[in-house]
Amino acid sequence: MPAHFQLLQTDSTTAARRGVLQTRHGAIQTPIFMPVGTQGTVKAITPVHLREIGAQIILGNTYHLNLRPGSDLIRELGGLHRFMGWDGPILTDSGGFQVFSLAKLRDIREDGVAFQSHIDGAKLFLGPREVMTIQQNLGSDIAMVLDECPPWPCEREACARAVERSFRWAKQCKEYATDSGFLADGHHVFAIVQGSTFDDLRRQAAESLAELDFPGYAVGGVSVGEPEPEMLKQVGATTPYLPANKPRYTMGLGTPPQLLKMIALGVDMFDCVLPTRVARNGLVFTPDGPLNLRNEKFRSDPRPIVEGMENYTATFSRAYLRHLTIAGEMLSGTLLTIHNLHFFLDLMAQARTHIEQGDFGSWHQAWIGRYEAGATARLAGSIQ
Amino acid sequence: MPAHFQLLQTDSTTAARRGVLQTRHGAIQTPIFMPVGTQGTVKAITPVHLREIGAQIILGNTYHLNLRPGSDLIRELGGLHRFMGWDGPILTDSGGFQVFSLAKLRDIREDGVAFQSHIDGAKLFLGPREVMTIQQNLGSDIAMVLDECPPWPCEREACARAVERSFRWAKQCKEYATDSGFLADGHHVFAIVQGSTFDDLRRQAAESLAELDFPGYAVGGVSVGEPEPEMLKQVGATTPYLPANKPRYTMGLGTPPQLLKMIALGVDMFDCVLPTRVARNGLVFTPDGPLNLRNEKFRSDPRPIVEGMENYTATFSRAYLRHLTIAGEMLSGTLLTIHNLHFFLDLMAQARTHIEQGDFGSWHQAWIGRYEAGATARLAGSIQ
């Protein structure tokens, strides 16, 4: 059997990697950004729009989909791909993170997490078997193990307990996925490395999970409130201990500069609600930092959001997009989501090209420099 | 110069007509339904979606667009077609109707209507010159004259005054459109026949406006609260006095059966927010009457909304569309709008075919019979 992940190239001045990940629904060129489709739709756009802007893989949220409409129903209707009309790869999270952030009255036990639905208060339980069954029902191409994500900051002892429990759950998840034939069918299961700010706990978690030989690894417990330098430090303290021949994924981040910094640390996969969420409030990304289209200065601006970007939104003027946003029209959310996701996907495409060309190190620093200079200048009101 | 409207065929058993209306942005096959794009967008969908479902012409609202973002700005940016990315024909209303329904502190004078913006309270004025200037700024293919729409019910004397005033305003609108070169450039201006429930006033209005030789005529003052039989009676009391070689348009209606009944009375053009507005609340049209997708019975229904209809929404199950609607996802509004508009546009296409085949009379009665039987049965809870 050929390896499901092929490492094509590694950058000489950073840890950036260029790879290809094979899934049941096609190959993914890495580094890659995954648009988030929480409730069975990437908010405000269609699967056709996703294809047009080059999306290779999207993310679905197990917690949400299992509460509504239910993973049994989705299985009965042919799986999540067919349900939502997306025939490319889908990664699903385990649902554990949302139990911690959204659910009421959660109770962490050795065998899993008992909680109440945030929608109707129903009493529910997620353990390793449950999260794997749900993700199997959804037909996920990449399923995530159940883990315990410690808060930031946290005490060392509590963190160590979370790491140990997460290891046991990961092991059980892999066993269930093996026994059920999920792995043998070409689905992937990724482990998640916790450890908060404790480098030795992160190393220990990474090395012990690596021994279990998962198809991929996520760096978890980042982007949970810690400052950016701390986040980068944690990722940098983890990736060296992950197997080079497996894809690496940081969950739930980040800004465009953060993505590039993560790639430089050897991360291959990202997901974040940032580009879709802010689009619905009129914020758009450009190489010179974000723009708030509600600003009066765009009132009669005939230019597209970013000159030279080719997507459907680029056929409209900033003035029109501002009008739609101010008028509260749904089409604003659709068009700005198309732009923002394309911007993130295009940034990943540029990163892949520069890793291939061997100049990722200098390119990504220059890119971040321009982006942050533009954002700073705009904050200071000095850019027209 | 060839006639801008060609009457291809007239039905033998009803007054239904099959025609072609030429505009600066292409030909329109009538009878036709015009999706409403109040604020420079047909709510929730893109111009590409509009094309895919066969939209031939859309409507823009002068009152809204002139308040926000302003017709001067739209002219500066190349006109409404370019502004909103729609290169097909656009009809705009005069704005008068919204002044009556939305604006605060309106004051009808002989020279026009003074009012306050419903958005920011700004004091504004619309007279014949203003409405024609605004519609010229927008680059409208079909502009409507300013008229006074009497309420239902209304006294005969008040109605007669409104008819007379509307006639004078229509005459002035045509003079401005002639002097400015708007008509000579191939734009059309349609007159509006008022007269409320008074047959003789409607006839008088139709005949006097017909003498002014407008490119088209609307039956106004219907769908303003009167019962359906009264509405049909008013349209039936108007169309016989309109020139046969000009298109006829009833503004702001209606349900699918109403559209067919209007076609049978000799009406060619329609617009209504019904299909787009109810789509955003989960209501969809079928040949067996409307369905509320929020209903529990669609929870696991794998069928498309209407078997055999070919559009993007038809690639999704009722179960998925119900899920999106219940979850409050924007994509629900988009997909249900695509379906509902396609349903209305397809109904017009069927009507055109049956007029051509010579069996419109029996076909439209059978169509209405099935639709109303389905709706009645569903209300009674007897359809699964």
Q: What is the pLDDT of residues B147-176, one digit of tens each?
A: 999 999 999 999 999 999 999 999 999 999
Closest residue by Cα to residue B6 from B22, B18, B20: B20
Contact B317 A43 (CB under 8 A): no
What is the model's pLDDT at position B244? 97
Residue A226, pLDDT above cutoff 60: yes
* Interface test with chain A among B48, B323, B329, B335, by most A beta carbons within 10 Å: B323
Of the listed A93, A141, A147, A268, which one is catalytic? A93
Cα separation, A359 vs B90, whole angstroms = 51
Q: Is A84 at the interface with chain B, CB within 8 A?
A: yes
What percent of chain A is modeled with pLDDT above 90?
A: 91
Residue B200, pLDDT above cutoff 90: yes
Residue B104, pLDDT above cutoff 80: no
For residue range B264-308, what is the model confidence (pLDDT) as tens digits? 999 999 999 999 999 999 999 999 999 999 999 999 999 999 999
Which of B76, B322, B330 is closest, CB to CB, to A300?
A: B76
* Interface test with chain B among A36, A39, A43, A46, by most B beta carbons within 10 Å: A46
* DSSP category for residue B253: B
For residue range A305-331, what is the model confidence (pLDDT) as tens digits? 999 999 999 999 999 999 999 999 999
What is the model's pLDDT at position B384? 44
For residue range A160-186, what is the model confidence (pLDDT) as tens digits? 999 999 999 999 999 999 999 999 999
Dihedral (CA of B367, B369, B372, B377) sign: negative
For residue range B212-241, what is the model confidence (pLDDT) as tens digits? 999 999 999 998 999 999 999 999 999 999
Which of A44, A300, A327 is closest, CB to CB, to B39?
A: A327
For residue range A338-354, what is the model confidence (pLDDT) as tens digits? 999 999 999 999 999 99
Residue A67, pLDDT above cutoff 60: yes
What is the model's pLDDT at position B274? 98
What is the model's pLDDT at position B205? 98
pLDDT band at residue A96 under the 50/70/90 scheme = confident
pLDDT band at residue B382 under the 50/70/90 scheme = low
pTM above 0.90, yes or no: yes
For residue range A239-282, what is the model confidence (pLDDT) as tens digits? 999 999 999 999 999 999 999 999 999 999 999 999 999 999 99
Which of A41, A77, A322 is closest, CB to CB, to B324?
A: A41
For residue range A130-156, what is the model confidence (pLDDT) as tens digits? 999 999 999 999 999 999 999 899 999
Q: Is B315 at the interface with chain A, CB within 8 A?
A: yes
Cβ atoms A29, A376 nearer than 8 A? no
The β-bridge relationship of strands B32-34 and B269-271 is parallel
Three-state SS annotation for chain A: CCCCEEEEEECCCCCCEEEEEEECCEEEEECEEECEECCCCCCCCCHHHHHHCCCCCEEECHHHHHHCCCHHHHHHCCCHHHHHCCCCCEEECCCHHHHHHCCEEEEEECCEEEEECCCCCCEEEECHHHHHHHHHHHCCCEEECCCCCCCCCCCHHHHHHHHHHHHHHHHHHHHHHHHCCCCCCCCEEEEEECCCCCHHHHHHHHHHHHHCCCCEEEECCCCCCCCHHHHHHHHHCCHHHCCCCCCEEECCECCHHHHHHHHHCCCCEEECCHHHHHHCCCEECCCCCCEECCCHHHCCCCCCCCCCCCCHHHHCCHHHHHHHHHCCCHHHHHHHHHHHHHHHHHHHHHHHHHHHHCCHHHHHHHHHHHHHHHHHHHHCCCCC
Greater model confidence, B52 or B118: B52
- Beta carbons within 10 angstroms of residue A25's beta carbon: 17
Q: Which residues of chain B lie closer than 8 angstroms to A277, CB-CB?
A: none
| Mean pLDDT to the nearest integer, A16-42 | 98
pLDDT band at residue A293 under the 50/70/90 scheme = very high
CB-based contacts of A299, cutoff 8 Å, min separation 6: A319, A322, B69, B73
Q: Reading across the β-sheet that carries B36-37, which strands appear in turn?
A: B32-34, B269-271, B248-250, B216-219, B188-193, B142-144, B90-92, B58-60, B36-37
Minimal CA separation from B195 to chain A, in Å: 35
Q: Which residues of chain A lie closer than 8 angstroms to B39, CB-CB?
A: 323-324, 327, 329
Residue B190, pLDDT above cutoff 70: yes
Contact A315 B83 (CB under 8 A): no
Q: Is B48 at the interface with chain A, CB within 8 A?
A: yes
- Total residues belonging to chain A: 384
Minimal CA separation from B43 to chain A, in Å: 7
Active site residues of B: 93, 271
Q: Is B45 at the interface with chain A, CB within 8 A?
A: yes
Minimal CA separation from B264 to chain A, in Å: 36
Minimal CA separation from A323 to chain B, in Å: 6
Query: Would you call A271 a catalytic residue per the annotation?
Result: yes
Which of A68, A76, A83 is closest, CB to CB, to B327?
A: A68
Residue A105, pLDDT above cutoff 90: no
The lowest-confidence range among B88-92, B94-98, B199-203 is B94-98
Name the average pLDDT for chain A.
Answer: 96
What is the model's pLDDT at position A384? 45
Which of A46, A300, A327 is closest, CB to CB, to B73?
A: A300
Question: From A79, which residue of chain B is nearest by alpha-carbon distance?
Answer: B320
Question: From A332, which residue of chain B is nearest by alpha-carbon distance?
Answer: B44
pLDDT band at residue B102 under the 50/70/90 scheme = confident
pLDDT band at residue B379 under the 50/70/90 scheme = confident
Contact A299 B329 (CB under 8 A): no
Quick one: A369 exposed, middle or buried, by C-beta within 10 A (0-12, 13-18, 19+)? exposed
